[in-house]
Structure 1
Amino acid sequence: MYDPFVHAHPGIGAPHSSSYWVDTAGAAPEDDGPLSGAIDVEVAIIGAGYTGLSCALNLAREHGIRAVVLEANQVAWGCSGRNGSFARISGGRVALSELISRYGATTAKAYFDEMSAGLNTVRGLIREGGIECDAQPDGVFKVASHAKHIDGLKREVGLYNDVLDYGAKFVPGADIQGVHTGAESFGALYMPDGFSMQPLKLAWGLHRMARKAGATVHVGSPVLNWTRSNGVHRLETPGGVVTARQVVVATNGYTSAALNKATAGRVLPVHSQIIVTRALTADEKQQSLPGSECMFDTRNLLSYYRRLPDDRILFGGRSAITGKDAENPQHRQNLHDALCRKFPVLSGIQVDYNWGGWVAVSENSLPFICRVPGEQNVFAAGGYAGSGVSFSVQAGKRLAQMVGGEAQPTQVDFLHQVPKRFPFQPFLRVGQRMAYAWYRYKDAQ
C-alpha cells in the first residue's frame, strides 16, 4: 500500500482500491486523461479530492480562473473516495473544552460557525449540482461507550448550548435505544445537523461541476519533480510539464515528503480502516442500529459507524501504523471484534468489504488553510484528522479565495497559520505505536 513516509508519489494511474463505495458508485465521470505535453496556466492544483476539486470549482466560478488539477491516480483515489461518509460540523480532532481553553470562546464560536458553513456548502453543492449521492436524513450521535463517559458528554452539551449557542442535546441511555442498541449504549450527545452519503458519488459530482465550470482534471499525472524560477513553478509529470504562477497543494494525508521540502513533515498520515458487513436481518437491525444516523463513540481510539441504505453496517476505526502493515488481516479482525462487542447480536457476522486509507493529523490536531512558507504563491490545506468530508470542501473554497487575493478569508486566525513540522520525524511512528498502546489501555478501563 502507498505510504507517504516511504514512497515518492502515490502511483501513476492506479485504479481505485476495492471498496463498497467503488462497487456502488456506478461509472466514473469523464476526465481529461493524463497530461501530455507542456502547458502554461495561472493555477495548478495537486490532488483531485474534495479540497482540490472544490478549489478548482470556486476558482472557475468566483474568480474566472480555469485551473488545471493534477491527480496521480484517479479522481478521489485518496481519502475522498475511501472515507466513512459523514458530512457534519467537524474539522480536526480537538475537544470543544480544549478548543475554548486554547483560543477563547469567541474564536471557538467563529471556528464552529466556519465548520457549520462548510456543512452548508456541501448541502448547497449537492442541491445545485443535482448530485445523487444517497444523502441520508440528518442526525449525529456521539455515543457513550462506557457509563463513566456520561458526565463528560453532559458537560460537552452544556458548552455547545452556552458557548456556541447550538442546540445539542443529551440523550439518556433508555432513550437512545430507538436508534442505537447493544452493549455500549449508555447515552449520547446528539447534534441535529450532519448527514451521511455515498462519498465517492459526492466527489464525482464535484468533479463534474468543476469541469463544467472550466477546470481541467488530468488523472494518471503525479508530480514527479517540482522546480521554480523567477517566481514561476514547473511541475513535471510522467507525460508532460505544467508551468504555473500559483500552485495549490491539496493532497492532505497522501502528501509525500518528496513532493516539496516546504510541505514535508507538516502532517502525520494516520491509517483508518473500514469494514462493511452483509445485509442485516430485520431482527439484527432492530437489535443494533434501527436508525440510519451518523454514529461515533467516546473511546480514545474511536469507532465510527452507521447502517447503510441496503441494511449493511459500515464500521471504521484506526488500524495499521505503516503502509506495509495495512494489509495485515489482524486489523480487519480487530474491527470485526469491536463491532461484535458493541452489538452482540452480530457476533460472527460476515464481512463483505474491507479497505483503508490515510487521514492527516497536524501538529496541533486542527486543520489549516495557508500560504506555504518559503515558496512564492503556493497554498495548502489539510489536517482534517478524519473529520473532513464537509470541511475539506469548505477549505477548497477558502483556498480559492486566497489564490484570488484574499489574505485571510475567515475570522479564525489559527486556520491560516502554517502548521508546525512534527519534531523527531524519524521516530514519529514509534511514538504513534506507544500512543495507541496507551489509548487501548485507557479504553479497556
Structure 2
Amino acid sequence: MDDISTGILFALLACLIIISGYFSGSETGMMSLNRYRLKHLSGKGHKGAKRVEKLLNRPDRLIGLILIGNNLVNILASAIATILGMRLYGNYGVAIATGLLTLVILVFAEVTPKTLAALYPEKVSYTSSIFLNILMKLLAPLVLMVNFITNGFLRLLGVNGKHGAEDPLSSEELRTVVNEAGGLIPRRHQDMLLSILDLEHVTVNDIMIPRNEITGIDINDDWKSIVRQLTHSPHGRIVLYRDQIDEVVGMLRLREAYRIMLEKNEFTKEMLLRSADEIYFIPEATPLNVQLLKFQRNKQRIGLIVNEYGDIIGLVTLEDILEEIVGEFTTSIAPSLSEEITPQSDGSFLIEGSANIRDINKGLNWHLPTNGPRTLNGLILEHLEDIPESKMSIEISRHQMEIIDFTENKISLVKVFPKKA
C-alpha cells in the first residue's frame, strides 16, 4: 500500500463505499418487495421478476452472498481509511479515519441506499439482481460454505434454517390487503370482496326469512282461494303445505304452474302437487359460504331451514346470499332496509322490531350486538328478560330506545336514537 498514491487510495475508498451502498440497497430492496406482485409479474414473464424470484427462493443464500460482499468491502474500506488517516494525520489519523468513515458509511452506504431501496424496491431489485446472479455463480463455493456453517449453528439452537413454503394469507390478512389496495381497486369492489370474506362468519339463520313470514299455500284450502293466491303472489316460488308450515309437501314454481294452466286450460290440486318440486332442507347455522356452494352443487335456489328437531324455522334463497355480497336486489322476498327504517326529524329512527340487527348495523353504521338474537325485537326482549306490558325506554350499547308499539307478545316498532357520544 505504501507504493500507492494517496489519490488512488481515495478513489478506491470511494468505489468501495459505492459498492457497499449497492449491497445494502440490494438487501433492503429484495426484502421489501411485494411477494404477491412479484409472483404475478414472474408469471407474466417479466425477466427481472423471474431473476429476483429465483434468488428469493433461497433467502439464506441470498443474504449470505450480500453480507459476504458487504463485509469484505467494508473491511477493505476500513483498512484503506486507516492508511489514509495515518498518512495525513500520523497516529491521530486512526481515530479520525474511524470516525469519518463511520459517518460516511452510515450516510452514503447504509441510510441513503436503504431508504431509496425501500421507496423503490422493484427498480432496485430488478436491476441489482443482474449483478447478484453473476456474483452468486462466482462466489458459490464461499456462499455454500458460509451457509453450511450457519445452518449447522442454527440447528444446534433448534432452528430450521431451510426456507419453508410461504404461509398463506389468512382471511383477516387478506382483508387488510383489500383495505390497503386504495385506488387500485374501486371502493365498490372492495366492499364486495370484504363481503365475500365475511360469508364464513355469517350463517343462514342471520339472513333467513323467519317462519312466521314465509309465504305459502295451504293445499287444503278451497280451490278458489288457492288460485287467488297463485295469481297474486309476488314471488317466483311458493311453499305448498297441509294445514301448517311444518307439513310441507313441495316447492311450486309459479312459471311452471302458469305453463300447465295454459296448456291444459284447467288446473287441479292433483296437477298442482305433481308440478311441485321436492323441498330442499338446510340445517340451521350453516355458514353462508358453505350454503352458497351447496346451492350450486345441488342446483337449488331456495331452501327451508330446519333445527335439530326437524322443525322449520325459516327460509333462505340464493338471492339472499348474493345480497350479502353485492347489496339488495329489488326482487328480494324480505322487506328492504328502507322499508323497515324511517328517519325522524330529531335524528332518531323508527325501526320495525322484525328488522335484522346485522342489516341495521350495515345500513346505519352502528354496532349493536350480533352475537345473540337476530332481530331488534329479540335483542330488546333479551335485554329486558321479560315481555313489556307498556311503552318504555331502555339503553342498549349506548343507544337510547323507546318501545313505541308491541303486538302479540312481540315488539313491532321501536324509536332508536344514534349512539351517545
- Indicate whether the TM-score tops 0.5: no
Larger % of helix: which? 2
Larger % of strand: which? 1
Flag the structure with larger Rg. Answer: 2
Q: TM-score, normalised by structure 1?
A: 0.19
